[in-house]
Amino acid sequence: MIVKFFKYQGAGNDFVMLDNRLGEYSKLTGFEINKLCNRNFGIGADGLIMLENAEKYHFGMRYFNADGNESTMCGNGGRCTVAFAKHLGIEKTEYNFMAIDGEHKALITNDKLVQLQMIDTLQIQPKLHGKFLNTGSPHFVLFVENLAEIDVFNQGKILRNHQAMGKGGANINFVEKLENGIKVRTYERGVENETLACGTGSVASAICFASNGLPGAKSVAVEMPGGKLIVEFTESETGFNNVWLTGPACFVFEGTINLRNCY
């Protein structure tokens, strides 16, 4: 099978993008998706995204982790999907699309920046020696000092599979407080490694950092190894709403690949 693909990245979080509006890639197996994402034998990516038709929406988004399993929401992937939609000729002032966690709105503010509205977060749960919350994907947030010295791979792997994270585990975020924001490194489940950036992880970390029990709008600059993201949200008595994730979403290259060559 010949696959026509597009490669996008958001702050270094990279994705294989497929236009699946005709359904030609719907039968790709987890094994095949894993091979396409393999950095040695395939295209190489943190995950694969299919842009599809969705009734009453401009498009639908399906996200698969690099391990080949369909997964929960990916914030940077969502922003890249919006940029991909524009590349395919879907041009809107404001985008409305459907993902696994529900409806999302998005804006393209210039050629490279995409603003994506995330789901509301209802609560932050104390767990182990950190905090747990769902921002479209489950995240554990741990505040540390000297982030550069943290063994993200080994510590993240242990926490990701800890029974306290529940069935399926969680993504693990190590966060260092800065004078004007935070610095974050994330171990992503499904990728089973540290990634250069994580959108839902940035949102989770920013909410944990800026929430103080006082109602009002908050804005947090988030530095990740692959670049900077901005998280904005409103804190209220019912939780955290009007959550927006802003950052780069860039086309890298496109091509075709024969799946047989990935085996």
Average pLDDT, the chain: 96
Instruction: Set out the domains of the chain in order of their start, with CATH numbers.
Output: 2-102+250-262 (3.10.310.10), 125-248 (3.10.310.10)
The pLDDT value recorded for residue 121 is: 94
Q: What is the mean pLDDT of residues 150-160?
A: 98
Q: What is the Rg, in whole angstroms, of the alpha carbon atoms belonging to the chain?
A: 18
Given a contact cutoff of 8 angstroms between Cβ atoms, the answer to whether 176 and 146 are in contact is yes
Q: What is the mean pLDDT of residues 138-152?
A: 97
**Which residues lie below 8 Å from residue 102, measured CB to CB, with a gap of 6+?**
119
By annotation, the residues acting in catalysis are 74, 198
The pLDDT value recorded for residue 260 is: 83
CA 138 to chain centre: 11
| pLDDT tens, position by position, 46-83 | 999 999 999 999 999 999 999 999 999 999 999 999 99
The pTM of the full predicted model, rounded to 2 decimals, is: 0.96
* Alpha-carbon distance values, 261 to 47, 67, 68, 145 (Å): 19, 18, 17, 45
